[in-house]
Structure 1
């Protein structure tokens, strides 16, 4: 392919990446409208948010294997059609259950798209310097899409309503299908072989058990919930063992067993754990605590977007002179610093400069690290297995995002409820009103209604302070996760292990790579 053809194909391939990452976070602004129209329970509302990422995470490895066997471009096109149809269904939802099903089908369509995009990039860009830049743009599209989601949601809600958050996907899908046929080449396929279908069933059941147990344990401790956690962990162990036994496993255990690949994949999961976890809180802080409009709250997502793009674009430049593991660790330390400054600088009284500083640091750090971890992952396998390998990475992304909502969101909401209980004496409300206020910061608006509190203004101020306490607890945990990921990068992403992996797989190591010097 010519230089222009390669970069034109990349521009087209980035469309579904951007679209899918937007859909992970766009609902953060839409939840109040959905609650008003569909009246979901608290548990249903949680699954409306998480069903998309959950299905996406569970099916990515299987779809990566399908793409390698049956053609990545073909899978991209069919997946886009499914994604568009599911978006229409979600937009016309008349109940919470219908919306959950629509979101799950969107996740199914999205699972066919993500590994295929990275596999096509691996196929198109054989020169490593070009591939690093392409991966930087891929990371920028993915991360910025997640951050732009709240802005797009705010605009669509103010102009129309929450249903258009889903309808907007349809013209983008149509444009992508047409452009993909024109500009994106089909990649080489592996020889068609029987795919083990029991493994993804075990994987889905195990991940579902783990995610559900995390959510339930945060709300209330019970032995059966611990049992569910054990069942999920046992299921993952069975899945791993099966990959050694079946003739055609969906997971290449030789690749995953290598410390460099495993570390880079784990770091990607932690990065998205932090991204989605923070985006669960920030829109609520801006709209409910600070009183900004949906569009204003969306605009305040831009500092994180710009920082993510900036970090993704400059990290390949530094990679020419420094080792990847050092640069990834630097990015994660920057992200962790941003997370830990939130409890110190972001209070009930919104300060634009401090909020900008914190979110900019978080975005810059994540954007700086991701292109290098993705390059390490894609360089670990031959071209024909790029889809399967990238699917493992994407599974880590999406599972990290689902756990970000479950763990950071759950810890934050638990801290919010405990903080509100500690302030009970100052609220001047009945037990029934207090129980309702403890559900979410949105439901705490009941405290400001006349007759529900002896001092409505004070009660509402205390509720907002409690939400900030919950947000702070989540940010402390996110910061610790970022620092832990930095240690993983320094210890796990070592150059000699990367060389050993490439030798084991029979791939030629790149010449004069700073990773191998």
Structure 2
């Protein structure tokens, strides 16, 4: 009976993990469709993704404390219900503002789901072998959601409609809820600490304002009073966050862990992956569908080359970590991601660019991610005392989500800037600064036909296609250089040669 209930509980947790992963990797494929159907601009498309990631960040640390105090099962149930309702609203949205707001609610409930999953598995499976098997299955399902999300999203759009990319989760949420009620045991932590409300608020405000400044700065004017006010609030909020976490008795971020070289090195690995690989996944479907003119299914299949190595490589990464130390494997994995980006840069610049010219780079970048991801998670939690593992895991997840949110915005800014630079050099038309920016954002979002209104002679949209390709070359180089810089600092933090000497 206990084994049967554990199986039901594991199934419910795996379904929740699948939904969380799918909502990250399947949505990018439908962004070009959303731009056309809901008449969104480029900033709207960025916020469709960033609303989810920022919301995850705001709720991650709070959920752990709330679940410990009020019960992991109870909080898990609430998060599943909210995720289902938010997914339903997403699928029924008729305007971009409604979709973005519902994506924020979906991200909050998704982040709560994610934290509860780990706590429930840890409590439900007490034996070491049972727990290892449960976490192994959970990891495979979570990875499958991320890895196969692009093709699943493409198929749903082709067979049904974009709405079902969200509505399917409303259905899965009902099934998951039934399984939770019949299989998951309730558990609490009688020694749960107080909720760090001030820390959560100051960090969330800082990240939101910084992301808003990057995405909206061109529209508002980076030197305008509003923009300067927003970035000032971001900086002041971050300073307040640091002061708060150093003064309160039970901070959600204990900065003393940054003195541990292995923890800091692993955290830089987390930031490196979400500095390059994951934010670029948001824009890669736009390249496949707009620059290469693939349909949603072909784009989804092309993206599999980018994501599938992340499922295959982790077991090898674990063996390499045991043999050569995480301090070697993690920076090496980041370096491989950067090398993959360089190959993608060459592939996208080829005379007859296609998924085949991009294939070596996408496979190599995915391999680098696979080498980095699992060692980062194990090292960040394993380098601190077991009593602080939850806090370390929370810092790791927050670093990932914050890096992702900020770099989605930065890559979008770089893409539009690259498109704008190409258009100004190759279009002989008289436009003011706002008109140039508007045209660049439309093309960057995949609206290639928008150039016909400005340049009727370019009936084939060749300039627009060249412009978006040029813009993508900029963000590919940004991803490569950025992840290599973080690989270097990660290596310096680990200093594996010191460990070798001490041995």
Please tell me the TM-score bracket, short chain as reference. 0.7 to 0.9
Q: Cα offset for 1:257?
A: 5.0
Q: Distance in 1 between matches of 2:200 and 2:14?
A: 27
Question: Is 1:446 paired with 2:450?
Answer: yes
Q: Distance in 2 between matches of 1:496 and 1:122?
A: 35
Which stretch shows the higher mean deviation, 10-19 or 160-169? 10-19
Which stretch shows the higher mean deviation, 256-265 or 241-250? 256-265
Q: SS in structure 1 opposite 2:276?
A: helix
Instruction: Give the equivalent residue in structure 2 for 1:505.
Output: none
Equivalent residue in structure 2 for 1:417, among 399, 415, 420: 420
Q: SS in structure 1 opposite 2:252?
A: coil
How many positions carry a matched residue from both structures? 496
What is the TM-score of this pair, normalised by structure 2? 0.87
The question of whether the paired residues in 2 share the 8 Å contact of 1:118 and 1:390 is answered with no
Q: Could you say if the C-alpha distance between residues 495 and 32 of structure 1 is closer, same or farther in structure 2, counting changes exceeding 3 Å?
A: closer
The question of whether the paired residues in 2 share the 8 Å contact of 1:139 and 1:371 is answered with no
Q: Distance in 1 between matches of 2:383 and 2:494?
A: 12
Q: Cα offset for 1:5?
A: 8.8
Q: Distance in 1 between matches of 2:329 and 2:464?
A: 41
Q: Cα offset for 1:269?
A: 2.7
Instruction: Give the equivalent residue in structure 2 for 1:324.
Output: 326
What is the TM-score of this pair, normalised by structure 1? 0.85
Instruction: Give the equivalent residue in structure 2 for 1:294.
Output: 296
Instruction: Give the equivalent residue in structure 2 for 1:474.
Output: 475
Q: Distance in 2 between matches of 1:126 and 1:481?
A: 41
Q: Distance in 2 between matches of 1:50 and 1:60?
A: 15
The question of whether the paired residues in 1 share the 8 Å contact of 2:380 and 2:392 is answered with yes
The question of whether the paired residues in 1 share the 8 Å contact of 2:305 and 2:362 is answered with yes
Q: SS in structure 1 opposite 2:324?
A: coil
Q: SS in structure 2 opposite 1:222?
A: coil
Equivalent residue in structure 2 for 1:389, among 392, 406, 416: 392
What is the root-mean-square deviation in Å for CA atoms of aligned residues? 3.4
Post-superposition Cα deviations, 1:199-218, rounded to whole Å, max 9, x if no partner, equal: 22222211111111222346
Q: Distance in 2 between matches of 1:8 and 1:325?
A: 38
Alignment of 1:74-85 (within 5 A): 74-85=74-85
Q: Could you say if the C-alpha distance between residues 187 and 340 of structure 1 is closer, same or farther in structure 2, counting changes exceeding 3 Å?
A: farther
The question of whether the paired residues in 2 share the 8 Å contact of 1:316 and 1:371 is answered with yes
Instruction: Give the equivalent residue in structure 2 for 1:233.
Output: 235
Q: SS in structure 2 opposite 1:191?
A: coil
Q: Distance in 1 between matches of 2:216 and 2:201?
A: 22
Q: Distance in 2 between matches of 1:98 and 1:139?
A: 32
Which stretch shows the higher mean deviation, 406-415 or 124-133? 124-133
The question of whether the paired residues in 2 share the 8 Å contact of 1:17 and 1:138 is answered with yes
Post-superposition Cα deviations, 1:377-419, rounded to whole Å, max 9, x if no partner, equal: 2224555654443222221222122122101121122111111
Q: Distance in 2 between matches of 1:180 and 1:495?
A: 44
Stretches of structure 2 that go unaligned for 5 or more consecutive residues are none
Equivalent residue in structure 2 for 1:355, among 354, 358, 364: 358
Instruction: Give the equivalent residue in structure 1 for 2:276.
Output: 274
Stretches of structure 1 that go unaligned for 5 or more consecutive residues are 499-513
Post-superposition Cα deviations, 1:203-261, rounded to whole Å, max 9, x if no partner, equal: 22111111112223466531543553343122112112112222332333333553432
Equivalent residue in structure 1 for 2:335, among 321, 333, 336: 333
